Amino acid sequence: MKESTASKKQSRWHLYLSGEVQHVGLRYTALYLCRGLGLTGWVKNLPDGRVELEVQGEVSKLRQFYMLLKSQPPIHISHADIAEVPVVSGERSFSVNPFVSTL
């Protein structure tokens, strides 16, 4: 059975995650999952305790990424703001920003 054309469409999600999301390996778990799924983007910690990320790829793989990320202990995502944003053409990898950004 073939996947629908909609699930193969390229999309980019911008996420703000809150809960037990810092100091639990979320950024490097995201890196590992994105590499395995062939997704691109970036992730960083925010000074208010949330994690911000953008992830890009096939819609079905974005959904799979989010479900896998949510199921990784000790990560506990209590709230996620997810918005679709424009695709970044030419992006080839997923990166971890090791520094806390300023608001």
Catalytic residues: 27, 45
Length of the chain: 103
Strand 94-97 with 10-20, pairing: unpaired
CB neighbourhood size of 26 (10 A): 24
Beta bridge partners of 55: 13, 41
